[in-house]
């Protein structure tokens, strides 16, 4: 009996590892990038089985037909207001999902990093996120796809008022976050979160680089509220999100890490060496079944940002250097996705 239980446990762990494939975000903000067909071929030749795209780009969707690549597809922020109309949401699902029955849709990210803070540009979209999510979810349900395709929204650590220690994690605006989290909890849907230890490192007065790169030896942070010990910043940031969700009724809402990456140029500690270290260690960490100190015994579905360096990205110069491949399709870090 003991040997059978051990074998069962090994099989469960193997299944969890198999399901923990790491995806890569396919940003297209460059004027020197491979074609959509070439890009999809690059995913397949490198064993990358999950992709995130930031709008329903028809050329990418056509290239994904019959590939088996699982897809997270965004509703861009600019389109959220229109989808507060249920008829528009049904048309969106018809045109962008039903039209591609041989594309393996997995998640629809309704909005990306919408922040209710009036000082943020994306605050103009805050009243549209939840109604658009509800309408897209209902439209998928109406055509029998709601169990296959999960609706969510992509959040980020900027929505937290507190993130240290992790158990103190709390949203800065519960009026925005709580209804979204409760909708996800009621419908057994995950939340998406963009987790960037690089930016956490920049904001840390202690500037502990090994803690951010997964190379620290032993415990760096012990949470005084629960005694949980952290050896890397990624886990601490993720558990802060879990703590924030628990405060508004979403303790059981799973987090899918919809972006995480490290730049290779034009910023503090933005080097090829550090970026390669981060990506390799991140892949190894999330593929395992250790989980985080708060959510143990699970793999962490994670999407690397991004496939290519994007020379037309806005913002700081580092934003142009998050690619794991160069635009000429050369691998920058020799990462293994199999």
CA-based radius of gyration for the chain: 20
- Quick count: other Cβ atoms within 10 Å of Cβ 5? 9
The single residue of 70, 254, 259, 319 carrying the catalytic annotation is 259
Distance CA 316, CA 319 (A): 6
- Identify the sign of the CA torsion 243, 275, 25, 298: negative
Distance CA 51, CA 27 (A): 10
The single residue of 36, 70, 113, 254 carrying the catalytic annotation is 113
Q: CB of 335 within 8 A of CB of 279?
A: yes
- Quick count: other Cβ atoms within 10 Å of Cβ 18? 10
Distance CA 313, CA 90 (A): 31
Distance CA 81, CA 84 (A): 6
- Identify the sign of the CA torsion 293, 297, 303, 305: positive
Based on the residue annotation, tell me whether 259 is a catalytic residue of this protein: yes
Q: CB of 199 within 8 A of CB of 211?
A: no
Based on the residue annotation, tell me whether 113 is a catalytic residue of this protein: yes
Instruction: Say which residue the tokens 């240290």 belong to.
Output: 164
* Catalytic residue set: 113, 259
């Amino acid at each position: 009996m003991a040997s059978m239980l051990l074998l069962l446990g090994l099989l469960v762990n193997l299944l969890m590892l198999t399901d923990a494939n790491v995806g890569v975000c396919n940003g297209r903000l460059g004027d020197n990038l491979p074609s959509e067909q070439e890009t999809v071929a690059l995913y397949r030749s490198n064993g990358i089985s999950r992709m995130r795209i930031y709008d329903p780009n028809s050329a990418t969707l056509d290239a994904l037909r019959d590939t088996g690549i699982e897809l997270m597809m965004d509703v861009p922020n600019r389109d959220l207001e229109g989808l507060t109309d249920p008829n528009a949401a049904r048309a969106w699902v018809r045109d962008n999902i039903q039209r591609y029955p041989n594309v393996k849709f997995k998640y629809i990210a309704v909005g990306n990093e919408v922040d209710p803070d009036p000082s943020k540009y994306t605050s103009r979209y805050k009243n549209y996120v939840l109604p658009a999510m509800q309408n897209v979810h209902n439209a998928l349900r109406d055509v029998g796809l709601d169990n296959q395709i999960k609706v969510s929204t992509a959040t980020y650590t900027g929505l937290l008022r507190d993130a240290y220690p992790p158990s103190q994690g709390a949203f800065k605006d519960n009026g925005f976050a709580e209804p979204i989290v409760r909708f996800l909890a009621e419908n057994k849907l995950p939340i998406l979160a963009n987790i960037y230890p690089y930016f956490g490192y920049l904001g840390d007065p202690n500037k502990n680089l090994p803690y951010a790169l997964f190379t620290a030896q032993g415990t760096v942070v012990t949470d005084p509220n629960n005694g949980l010990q952290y050896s890397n910043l990624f886990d601490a940031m993720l558990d802060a999100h879990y703590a924030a969700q628990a405060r508004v009724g979403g303790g059981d809402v799973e987090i899918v890490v919809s972006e995480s990456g490290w730049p290779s140029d034009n910023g503090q500690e933005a080097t090829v060496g550090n970026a390669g270290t981060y990506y390799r260690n991140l892949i190894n960490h999330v593929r395992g079944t250790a989980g985080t100190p708060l959510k143990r015994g699970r793999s962490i579905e994670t999407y690397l940002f991004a496939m290519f360096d994007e020379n037309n990205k806005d913002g700081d110069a580092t934003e142009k250097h998050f690619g794991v491949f160069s635009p000429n399709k050369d691998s920058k870090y020799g990462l293994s996705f199999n």
